[in-house]
A = this chain, B = another copy of it.
Amino acid sequence: MSVTIKDVSSHANVSIKTVSRVINNEKNVAEATRSKVLASIKKLGFTPNKSAQSLRSKRSYIIALLYDNPNKSYLADIQNGILQVCKKTGYNLVLQECDYKNKNLSNSIINFVEDLKIDGLIVIPPLSDMDDFLYKLGHANIHYSIITPSNKKFSSLYVSSNDYDATYQMTEKIISFGHKKIGFIKGDGMHSASNLRFNGFINAIDDYSLERNFDWIIQGDFSFESGFQAGEKIFSSAEHPTAIFASNDSMAAGVMKSAQMKKILVPNKLSIVGFDDTPTAEQVWPSLSTVKQPVIEMALHAAKLLIGEFDGLTEETVSKEFKSEIIIRESLKKLK
């Protein structure tokens, strides 16, 4: 049927073990032997049997993505990035949905990893914010790579984003457009990003000596509905802001709806800014100005880091921070 190591070894006239050495990039193989074997591998179109490798070496060549109810578009981008690395390195990706409220989550994940002999995990928000969970994974000797960790001490493998700086810069941009009365809608407190984004906003406000008006600073939970409710609150206050910065696009769309229903013209009377650049941001009218994290690249890097732990990728891959891009669309306008 399919080509095995044995076929390769007789074709190249070496031992089975030597072929194995070449496959696994082990040292102590003479250059001439190595190339001879590689030629045979290519000629015969050999690919190692994953099950056999896995059975013997106790590695599955599977990594898992842990997630809990993320934005669908975010999840798709994350997967996309990871898959690019998997394809190159011969790993497979398994998806594992989690419930972060489950008290027993760490145990069930540890079981999952041991059952399937999962080589490593990639963890995304909000699970990446759960210190206790990450601690237990580490304690069980599980490898994982974190995307936007709240606390970098739990793994040496992570990719972070500059949420604080990006929000600060976007706030500066709003201010540079002449806005002095700016509202803010916070995200779900469970996500560490919520605090980073709020801090970026409030520090910019302070640094430019603008007013902190707590009638316009509303707690949301990243949902469209919470954005809408925030809008209702803000627009029922005595004075209205001229711009509102929401911690994500869904809430921004919610605020926009609330404003439009009250005939507050966006962007002429009110500028609105979101965060994340989801597909919705382009499809609402007026289109949303927003902040775009390079999610695909971040996921790609996180996967490289993790797989590099096992395969020792030659390419230099270290944990690093990615910069977000500020996207100005119709919803943010200069104040006349």
Interface residues of A (CB under 8 A from B): 2, 47, 49-52, 54-55, 60, 62, 72-73, 75-77, 79-80, 83, 92-95, 97, 114-117, 224, 250, 253-254, 256-257, 260-261, 278-280, 282-285, 287
A51 touches B117 (CB 8 A): yes
Number of copies: 2
A279 touches B60 (CB 8 A): no
A-B contact list, 25 entries, CB within 8 Å: A47-B115, A50-B54, A50-B60, A50-B117, A51-B51, A51-B60, A51-B117, A55-B55, A72-B72, A72-B73, A72-B279, A80-B97, A83-B97, A92-B94, A92-B116, A93-B94, A94-B94, A224-B282, A224-B283, A250-B283, A260-B285, A278-B279, A279-B279, A280-B283, A284-B284
- The 8 Å CB contact of A95, one of B83, B97, B253, B287, is B83
Q: Which residue of B lies closest to A115 (CB)?
A: B47
Bound Cα distance A83, B254 (Å)? 31
- The 8 Å CB contact of A285, one of B47, B83, B257, is B257
Bound Cα distance A335, B158 (Å)? 56
* Closest CB in chain B relative to A86 CB, distance in Å: 9
Q: Which residues of B contact A116 (CB under 8 A)?
A: 50, 92
A-B CB proximity, top 5 nearest: A51-B54, A72-B76, A51-B55, A253-B283, A257-B285
Bound Cα distance A62, B86 (Å)? 15
* Closest CB in chain B relative to A327 CB, distance in Å: 16
* Closest CB in chain B relative to A184 CB, distance in Å: 19
Bound Cα distance A319, B164 (Å)? 51
Bound Cα distance A72, B288 (Å)? 19
Q: Which residue of B lies closest to A92 (CB)?
A: B94
- The 8 Å CB contact of A76, one of B60, B76, B256, is B76
**19 more A-B contacts (CB under 8 A) besides A93-B94, A257-B283?**
A51-B52, A51-B55, A52-B55, A62-B92, A72-B72, A73-B73, A83-B95, A83-B97, A92-B94, A92-B116, A250-B279, A250-B283, A253-B284, A256-B285, A257-B287, A260-B285, A261-B285, A280-B280, A280-B283
